Structure 1
Amino acid sequence: MSAIGIIGQGAIARYIAQALAEDGTPITAVLARPGREEVARIAIGAEVVANATVMATCADVVIDCAGHAGLTAHGATLLGAGCEVVTLSLGALADPVLVAQMKDAARVGGGTLRLASGAIGALDALSAAAVGGLEHVRYIGIKPPHGWAGSPAEEALDLATLTAPATHFTGTARAAALAYPKNANVAAAVALAGIGFDATEVQLIADPGATQNTHRIEARGAFGSFDFTISGNALPDNPKSSALAAMSAVRAARNGAAWMRF
């Protein structure tokens, strides 16, 4: 198996590192923010590298678990060095400037960006339906109030006192991905699989009665229609992070499977 590096040391990164170590494929290097090197070394159990250029000498496959900022800072360099980058930070692809930079780098260096499916399913059906034409795609994301902590939801709602479900965002997938970089990667995945960032509708809801993170896709087109819902558990260490998202990255690293290459 290829040498695997990882960007980040949060809950998702730790889950991935442990799962791959159990497979006998430990992470070879971890790239962390300045000042977080020792934390990353202990959390991931791997050599800490200072930048993406060094990472590219240690790993053939690099898993990005550092959010939009991680992909923005390191994606183009890694692709330009010929690495395969597996990312969960799909919302970052709402930025057309970043997309152009990474495509140019991949073209020159031969790297590949692979998109992990993250916390959602049915992307294969949605992307197939897009071939025949889609008239409507809407993504609805529902989390407990604490799952929206640190996001713009705090400005729209008093999360601590909610007694009923409340919508705090309605708009396009592009607007959601850019405004909620830690919460709306699923919206971006739905947009990329279907009719794009600007045509995909998004509704984000805080529900005090919710115990899981629920993701719903409504789609209608030439194929017919579907309504897909999945309720997933968050990682114990971080209520904003889906356990299934971490699992999807492990699957991509294990066998090269990714629902989309970008």
Structure 2
Amino acid sequence: MNIGLIGSGAIARYLLEKINKEKHPALAIKCILVRNREKYQHLEAKYGVTLHTDREAFLASDIDMVVEAANVETVRTLLPEVIQKKDTMLISVGALVDEDLLEEAGRLAEAHGNKLHLPSGAIGGLDLIQNAKAFGNLEHVELITRKPAHSLTDEVLTEEKTVFRGKAYEAIEKFPKNMNVSIILSLAGLGIRETDVRLIADPGIDKNIHQIKLSGGFGEAELTIKNDPLPENPKTSALAALSIIGTLERIEENIKYGS
């Protein structure tokens, strides 16, 4: 699969290392859409990619999939145009708290025969949530996220402190760089207005910890994920980057597990 990448930050560099430099057998990043060609020109020789500053040329290139690894604002600006031309994968799913954008993306994807892929990012269990939701058997979903205190507040804490409690759509508005996981969880489950979220600043941890609780007609389930940081950027979970590669690999597989 030939990939066009939007973004040049930590996750983008991780993908370039794992896919191009280590020569992935089924995936290849062919080009990158950037704003400043001179700033990132070294990537062409290092990873064998072509840089584009023009969106039309980027989308017209020999790529099968566009992978966004930039930010929420980029998704809001580019998604409607991109999904009309190519299958698209987003990591900045927080942009989809905008229900009009989500609806438009779905409508355009269907009209143009393309797919919008949303990796699970720094959490898991989305297959369980979607299965439980079948025939109305999912009644309650709660996400409890703990992060190192210094990443959420300038206040010096000696014990954990809840800095947010509410619904998913409120969480991403108040903490846009920290709560993407609440949106992907909501989209897989009960929606952004019915998913309960609690965000805790904890001075006693050095990892991001996500606890998912769900219940309904199927029974009850709990899942806890403790994320190591991405070496290239400690503010990003390694699992978020891995989820992109894992999702890309599963698209190409002939045998599907839990999907």
| TM-score (norm: length of structure 2) | 0.88
CA distance in 2, matches of 1:253, 1:107: 20
Pick aligned residue for 1:127 from 105, 109, 130: 130
- Return the structure number with greater relative CO, CA threshold 8 A, min gap 6: 1
Aligned twin of 1:151: none
CA change 1:214–1:40 in 2 (3 A) is farther
Aligned twin of 2:108: 105
CA distance in 1, matches of 2:258, 2:93: 11
CA distance in 2, matches of 1:190, 1:41: 37
Query: For residues 182-261 of structure 1, what are the structure 2 equivalents within 5 Å?
Result: 182-256=177-251
Which one-letter code corresponds to 2:38 in the other structure?
E
Shift of 1:255: 3.3
Which one-letter code corresponds to 1:108 in the other structure?
A
Aligned twin of 2:31: 29
CA distance in 1, matches of 2:176, 2:193: 17
Determine if contact 1:30/1:40 at 8 Å carries over to the other structure: no
CA distance in 2, matches of 1:145, 1:38: 37
Aligned twin of 1:75: 79
Shift of 1:7: 0.8
Question: Unpaired segments of 5 or more residues in structure 2?
Answer: none
Determine if contact 1:86/1:252 at 8 Å carries over to the other structure: no
Q: Which portions of structure 1, spanning 4 or more consecutive aligned residues, are displaced by more than 6 angstroms?
A: 257-261
Query: For residues 141-220 of structure 1, what are the structure 2 equivalents within 5 Å?
Result: 141-148=145-152, 154=153, 158-159=154-155, 161-220=156-215
Determine if contact 1:142/1:205 at 8 Å carries over to the other structure: yes
CA change 1:259–1:61 in 2 (3 A) is farther
| Secondary structure of the corresponding residue to residue 139 of structure 2 | strand
Aligned twin of 1:6: 5
| Secondary structure of the corresponding residue to residue 210 of structure 1 | coil
* Matched residue count: 248
Q: Residues 17-40 of structure 1: CA distance to partner in whole angstroms, max 9, x if unpaired?
A: 1111121544111112x34x3344
Q: RMSD of the TM alignment (CA)?
A: 2.2
Shift of 1:3: 1.4
Shift of 1:130: 1.2
Determine if contact 1:56/1:78 at 8 Å carries over to the other structure: yes
